[in-house]
């Protein structure tokens, strides 16, 4: 029995040693000189740690710029009461190792807030990144970055900037009051952007350039362009050069320019979005091919509902609801260089007494061969004539609205309350500073 018991003790000790090796140790950082702490600064704990370790940062303000060069987790008590205040002349948190987790911190007063460079599988979660003179979160030449449930606000440049970094998961973030873009990305293939709130950013809500296989879904993008007072420029969602994008069930409202803009995009879908109350077009398309615009609700845009230009061809516009587009504009406008665009099963109404649509090409189809569109001003007999030098015509118009899956317009008061709360919080926070 004694041998069995001794063997059990040895086995248990071995398991504990193995567990410690795999899971890593824990370091405690406390600026209040607690007896339980391992370090008084975060950088001191990082320097002493090994890969796999966790660094727990107790509530307080830590005035330092830190570099994380090991595969560790740095976990603050809460982004409300655990602050890293940078020097103002450098990045507050620099991550140069893979498999790093950064969470629960308020990161402020730096050049950039967080810089992830040449590091894979990094997770930035539950942080507040604000009041930096440059970008809030900068990702460069890194793969598989998770950006989850952060508040990224009041940064002088972009909220998030991504370059040459594929397979990002950007979800459940609040990105607001940044002076430039909410999200600005170049060559960010296979990125998913979902369930984010982007509001009151200075120029664009989000833009992706030279990026393929994007999924942009379930986001609220509003009030883009607050720093611009010239022609409409505050775009909600923009994709410039790419393929295989899906823009699904987003709410783009009260932006200073186009709700959605796509250019040089192929084999993509714009589905079931609510686009309303903006100063530009609902959906602006330039040089796009094999794009389907399907079941969107486009309401009260100052300019055009849907506009296609610059050799856009082989696209489909179907089952959309376009109401109250800009006076002296059109619900759908196709420029002279467009070709083989099929427009059918849309519900269209607006201010014009003549035609709700415009076609300068004459090489497009305004029905699917058997069914055209509902036009609120059709007289009930014959074809529906499309404005423009192309001589377009809907040969199968209907006087009954088409059943679609387009989303209902979100009431403005539904957005007003959270916006007011954000504004009040921003004012209160800045007074405390």
**Selection from 326, 368, 374 nearest residue 348 by Cα:** 374
Q: What pLDDT was estimated at residue 229?
A: 52
139-167 mean pLDDT: 98
d(CA 264, CA 183): 20
Name residue 353's beta-bridge partners. none
Q: Which domains are seen in the chain, by residue range?
A: 86-99+107-432 (2.160.20.10)
Q: What is the mean pLDDT of the chain?
A: 89
In degrees and rounded to multiples of 5, residue 228 shows phi and psi of -110, 135
This prediction has a pTM of 0.89
Helix, strand, or coil (residue 300)? coil
Name residue 228's beta-bridge partners. none
- Please determine, for residue 427, whether its predicted confidence score (pLDDT) is greater than 80: no
Share of the chain above pLDDT 90, in %: 80
Do the beta carbons of residue 82 and residue 56 sit within 8 Å?
Answer: no
Q: What is the pLDDT of residues 395-407, one digit of tens each?
A: 999 999 999 988 8
Identify the weakest region by mean pLDDT among 41-50, 57-66, 228-237, 329-338. Answer: 228-237
Helix, strand, or coil (residue 23)? helix
d(CA 54, CA 4): 36
d(CA 273, CA 277): 13
């Amino acid at each position: 029995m004694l041998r069995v018991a001794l063997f059990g003790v040895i086995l248990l000790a071995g398991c504990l040693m193995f567990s410690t090796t795999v899971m890593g140790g824990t370091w405690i950082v406390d600026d209040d000189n607690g007896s339980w702490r391992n370090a008084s600064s975060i950088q001191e704990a990082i320097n002493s740690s090994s890969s796999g370790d966790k660094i727990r940062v107790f509530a307080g303000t830590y005035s330092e710029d830190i570099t994380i060069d090991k595969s560790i987790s740095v976990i603050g008590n809460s982004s409300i009461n655990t602050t890293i205040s940078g020097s103002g002349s450098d990045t507050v948190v620099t991550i140069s190792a893979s498999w790093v987790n950064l969470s629960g911190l308020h990161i402020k007063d730096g050049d950039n807030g967080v810089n992830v460079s040449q590091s894979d599988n990094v997770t930035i979660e539950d942080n507040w990144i604000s009041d930096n003179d440059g970008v809030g979160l900068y990702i460069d030449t890194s793969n598989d970055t998770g950006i989850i449930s952060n508040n990224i606000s009041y940064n002088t440049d972009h909220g998030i900037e991504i370059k040459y970094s594929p397979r990002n998961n950007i979800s459940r973030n609040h990105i607001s009051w940044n002076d430039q873009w909410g999200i600005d990305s170049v060559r960010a293939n296979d990125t998913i952007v979902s369930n984010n709130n982007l509001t009151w950013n200075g120029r664009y809500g989000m833009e992706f350039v030279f990026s393929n296989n994007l999924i942009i879904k379930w986001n609220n993008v509003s009030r883009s362009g607050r720093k611009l007072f010239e022609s409409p420029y505050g775009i909600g969602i923009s994709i410039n050069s790419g393929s295989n994008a899906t823009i699904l069930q987003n709410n783009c409202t009260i932006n200073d320019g186009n709700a959605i803009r796509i250019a040089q995009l192929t084999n993509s879908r714009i589905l079931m979005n609510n686009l309303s109350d903006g100063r530009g077009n609902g959906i602006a398309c330039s040089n796009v091919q094999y794009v389907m615009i399907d079941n969107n609700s486009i309401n009260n845009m100052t300019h055009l509902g849907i506009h296609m230009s610059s050799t856009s061809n082989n696209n489909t516009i179907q089952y959309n609801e376009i109401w109250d587009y800009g006076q002296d504009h059109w619900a759908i406008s196709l420029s002279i260089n467009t070709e083989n665009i099929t427009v059918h099963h849309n519900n269209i109404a607006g201010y014009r007494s003549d035609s709700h649509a415009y076609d300068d090409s004459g090489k497009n189809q305004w029905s699917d061969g058997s069914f055209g569109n509902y036009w609120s001003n059709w007289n009930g007999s014959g074809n529906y004539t499309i404005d423009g030098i192309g001589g377009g015509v809907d040969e199968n118009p209907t006087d009954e609205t088409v059943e679609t899956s387009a989303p209902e317009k979100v009431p403005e008061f539904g957005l007003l309350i959270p916006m007011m709360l954000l504004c009040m919080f921003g004012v209160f926070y800045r007074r405390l500073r």
